[in-house]
Amino acid sequence: MNAELQLIDAQTAVQVRGLNVVYETTQGDIPAVQNVNLDIRKGQITGIIGESGSGKSTLVMAMMNAVAKPGRVASGSIEVSGVGDMMKLSTEQQRRARSTELGLVFQAAQNSLNPLRRIGHQVLDLGRSHGVKDLRALLRKAKDLLERLGLDADRVLTAYQHELSGGMRQRVGIMFALVLDAKVVILDEATTALDMLSQASVLQIVRELHEERGLTTILITHDMGVVGDLADRVVVMYAGCIVEEGVTQEVLTSPKHPYTRGLIRAIPRISGDIDKAVPLSGSPPDMNTYKQPGCLFADRCPLAAPECQQSRPPLLEVETGRHVACFRVNDHA
Amino acid sequence: MILVVASFTFFLVRMMPGNPIEAKYEQLIMSGYTPDQAMSAVRVMYGFIPKQPLFQQFVTYLWQILHLNLGQSISYEGTPVMKIILGAAPWTIILVLTGTLASFVVGVLAGVIAAIRRNKVSGNLITVSGSLLHGIPQFVMGLFLAYVFTTIWAVFPYGAPYDASLTPGFNWPYIGSLAWHAILPVATYALSSYGGWLLTMKSSVISVLGDDFILAAEVRGIKPSIRMRYIAQNAMLPLFTILALSIGFMFGGSIFIEDIFDYPGLGNMLTNAISYKDYPLMSGAFLLITVAIIAANIATDFLYSIVDPRIRR
Ligand SMILES: Nc1ncnc2c1ncn2[C@@H]1O[C@H](COP(=O)(O)OP(=O)(O)OP(=O)(O)O)[C@@H](O)[C@H]1O
Ligand SMILES: [Mg+2]
């Protein structure tokens, strides 16, 4: 597909096309994201799920064109509504889009602050970086957000990172992603350091803010319950590929990719009964998995047929708004 | 610590071969002093009375030190040690501080550049410059500079801290002459410590560059100038610890460097004291150097607690 000729449609906030990200390591290149095509719809909450190492974080970092070394975007385009192709913008234009258009709470949000500077000063640094005129108003906004997230804002703003708990830091990270009114907000396991109750309340607030501000939210989590409760749509990743994508309810109740099915069956909370929880058989993908020409899931797949070993199944629209990458999508019982 | 050094120098002087104190005492008796006169002369000179029991001598000695009385010099007949040391100290302190400061600033900046351009030729050249200079001992560097710039190519003056024809005081020709004469020794200090700063700063910056909060700053679109400040601030922390060590090391180096450039500082004074067996002066100088190093350490701790909120109370 040709990115220049494509006009991003009005429903789409971020359009990812032909995205490939590799990490160059001494053992060889790890294709952490492979051939990803994805439309993130405006105003919706999109959940991304998948095993550890399936490339979720890498995908969202690539959306901001901020993949850290030794990773690099090998090819692809990231059209962001109202901004342009992140891959083609100048460094300065990309920088200006961050925080103002795209806000990211990244996985290591607990260490996302300069240890030598008070939080309030770092909010001001953010404001200065993006040409905010009224810095007082910015601080007030930061304060309101922190208070909504259940923190003692005055204390937090005058504190240093080491004076805050892990959960407090994550909430400060969420504040940073929202304080400049980004329209697309990405939360990469942003609530992992919180206890169940705080997690529920923080996610509740995220949902409220999402609705109030008409945000587009991307939520990476390992918690299927969270996906079920919050996400409008869900994206399932396996070994750097999207294997299934669709409306949350449909995907969770009638998964079409054998991996999604296995994933859901592995979680008692969704299937209902702990005795029925079945762990996925086989081992997670490794370097050798990536090298083979066939479906990356074939080795663990109960439905694997000879054709699955020969070529990769493309992500196809099997119903309206429902994409699955499987040759045997219609063959299961 | 100061007490330990004070005690150490006391016993060192006591155990010197030939016992300088007794020798002096005997020498005074022979030159016509009465035992009483000789004893009080020696007492003034060393700060304690030789004929008393060792312990009592020790106490007297410490008592005198507490009153900043370091006794009197032997080689500069009768001049109080304190006065000689205070006369020599400023020269050394100015040289060492200027040299340290210059190399710190240049080395740290070069270290940042070397870290950021570490995959480029320019960055590698900077790193190599640091490694090379770091490998050269201070006195070799001093001899080399002295040879090149005063002998082969006589651009800089040699010996004496200022032009003898000028009147010391607060006037431009005099200050200019001071600076001109100080360039080579300062350059020796600076060049010999530049590499250390550069290499330490480089590795420190590289490790900070891998920290999550720097990636976070990038993802938040923090301006490059502010991001650079974040990196530099955090990378500088380990350097403050070394600063104290380095200043102590530089004071040690003054023995060679002031000898090479014939500069009237503490190093030169100590060399002279050793060659004239001027024990009061020696122990005074040891004490002072210890005090200076301890002071540098305390200052560093203080500095550290200012820059790093994590160790603030
Ligand atoms: N800095 C790196 N160097 C080398 N390989 C990396 C690096 N970061 C990630 N990878 C590899 O890229 C792949 C995808 O990693 P990524 O962090 O995107 O996974 P994830 O889905 O976010 O996992 P998790 O759920 O554990 O956060 C993994 O195979 C990982 O080993
Ligand atoms: Mg991740």
pLDDT digits 0-9 by tens, B216-225: 999 999 999 9
For B230-281, what is each residue's pLDDT tens digit? 999 999 888 887 877 777 777 777 878 887 777 888 888 888 887 777 777 7
Condensed to tens digits (0 to 9), the pLDDT of residues A64-93 reads 999 988 899 999 999 998 889 999 999 999
Q: Which residues in chain A are closer than 8 Å to B223, comparing Cβ atoms? A: 95, 125, 128-129
At residue A118, the pLDDT reads 95
Q: Tell me if A209 is assigned to some domain.
A: yes
Using the beta-carbon criterion (under 8 Å), do A104 and B223 form an inter-chain contact?
no
In a domain, residue A46? The reply is yes
Note the pLDDT of residue B47. Answer: 61
Enumerate the domain spans of chain B: 2-66, 82-312
Bridge partner list, A245: A235, A323
Residue A277, both tokens: 């929880």
**Ligand 1 contact via A23 beta carbon (within 6 Å):** yes
CA–CA min distance B158, chain A (Å): 46
Give A238 or A332, the one with higher predicted confidence.
A238
Round the CA-based radius of gyration of chain A to a whole number and report it: 20
Least confident of A3-7, B173-177, B277-281: A3-7
**Per-residue pLDDT at B50 exceeds 60:** no
- B contacts of A176 (beta carbons < 8 Å): 220
Range of the domain at A264: 12-101+182-324
Winning range, highest mean pLDDT, from A111-125, B75-89, B137-151: A111-125
Residue A311 inside a domain? The answer is yes
List the single residue in A116, A129, A173 with the smallest CB-CB distance to B234.
A116
Write phi, then psi, for B49 (nearest 5 degrees). -95, 125
Eight-state DSSP code of residue B207: H
Say if the Cβ atoms of B310 and A64 lie within 8 Å. Answer: no
Sign of the dihedral through C-alpha A317, A318, A319, A322:
negative
CA of B100 to the centre of ligand 2 (A): 45
Largest CA-CA distance found in chain B, in angstroms, rounded: 87
Residue B13 has what pLDDT?
63
Interchain pair A106, B219: CB under 8 A:
yes
Task: Measure CA of the first residue to CA of the last residue in chain A; give whole Å.
Answer: 35
Question: What's the gap in Å between A51 CA and the centre of ligand 1?
Answer: 11
Contact partners, residue B87, CB within 8 Å, separation at least 6: none
Interface predicted TM-score of the whole assembly (ipTM), two decimals:
0.88
Residue B235's closest CA among B115, B100, B101? B115
Pocket probe mutation, ligand 1, options A24, A29, A57, max atoms within 8 Å of Cβ: A57
Residue A43 lies in a domain: yes
> What band does A260 get if pLDDT is binned at 50, 70 and 90?
very high
Whether A168 maps to a domain, the answer reads no
CA of A28 to the centre of ligand 1 (A): 14
Q: How confident is the model at residue A322 (pLDDT cuts 50, 70, 90)?
A: very high
Q: Are strands A316-319 and A241-247 parallel, antiparallel or unpaired?
A: unpaired
Closest-CA distance of chain B to residue A254, Å: 37
pLDDT confidence band for B37 (50 / 70 / 90): confident
More confident residue, A227 or B35: A227
Mean pLDDT, residues B171-188: 75
Which of A21, A58, A187 for mutating ligand 1's site (highest number of atoms within 8 Å of CB)? A58
Longest Cα–Cα distance of chain A, Å, equals 64
Contact A95 B223 (CB under 8 A): yes
pLDDT of A206 higher than 50: yes
Within 8 A of B237 by CB-CB distance, chain A residues are: 116
Residue A327 CB less than 6 A away from ligand 1: no
Other beta carbons within 10 angstroms of residue B98's beta carbon come to: 18
Whose Cα sits closest to atom 14 in ligand 1? A55
User: How many A from CA of A314 to the centre of ligand 1?
Assistant: 23
Whether residues A112 and B234 touch (CB distance < 8 A) is answered with no
pLDDT band at A274 (very low <50, low <70, confident <90, very high): low
Q: What is the pTM of this model?
A: 0.80
The residue ranking higher by pLDDT, A33 or A6, is A33
Whether A289 shows a pLDDT value over 90: the answer reads no
Residue A109 falls within a domain, yes or no?
no
Count of domains observed in chain A: 1
- Distance, CA of A64 to CA of A262 (rounded, Å): 31
Backbone angles phi, psi at A11, to 5 degrees: -85, -10
Q: Does B216 sit within 8 Å of A98, measured CB to CB? A: no
- pLDDT level of residue B160 (50, 70, 90 thresholds): low
Q: Where are the alpha helices (DSSP H) in A91-220?
A: 91-97, 119-129, 135-148, 153-157, 166-178, 196-213
CATH of domain B82-312: 1.10.3720.10
- Closest-CA residue in chain B for A182? B220
What CATH number is attached to the domain comprising A77? 3.40.50.300
In a domain, A281, yes or no: yes
Burial class (CB in 10 A: 0-12, 13-18, 19+), B41: middle
